[in-house]
């Protein structure tokens, strides 16, 4: 769960902590199955952009549960997939 847009500047973005990956593909969907975020670059050291609870057009998304599909591959390993949910609290 995270709380984007509040004034405390804590938990303002969703980030998957991962290092030394060869492939990275994170997608987040709303409850209707619409893609609201996609990234092929980790947000580590400000290289990519972590999800801040907005759509690609910067429209602020409402509080609720969103679905995550994260495909990744470490060097010399088989591709893996994580699926789960993330909750926005406003």
For residue range 41-70, list pLDDT tens digits in order: 877 655 567 899 999 898 999 999 999 999
Q: Does domain 21-88 have CATH number 1.10.1760.20?
A: no
pTM of the entire predicted model: 0.83
pLDDT for residue 14: 85
Question: Which sequence spans correspond to the domains of the chain?
Answer: 21-88
Q: How far apart, in whole angstroms, are the C-alpha atoms of residue 28 and residue 53?
A: 10
At residue 46, φ and ψ (nearest 5 deg) are 60, 25
């Amino acid at each position: 769960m995270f709380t984007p847009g509040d004034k405390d500047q804590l938990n303002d973005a969703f980030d998957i902590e991962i290092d030394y990956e060869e492939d990275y593909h994170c997608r987040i969907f709303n409850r209707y199955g619409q893609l609201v975020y996609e990234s092929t670059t980790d947000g580590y050291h400000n290289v990519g952009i972590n999800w801040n609870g907005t759509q690609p057009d910067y429209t602020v998304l409402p509080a609720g549960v969103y679905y995550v599909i994260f495909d990744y591959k470490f060097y010399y390993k088989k591709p893996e997939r994580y699926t789960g949910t993330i909750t926005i609290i406003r």
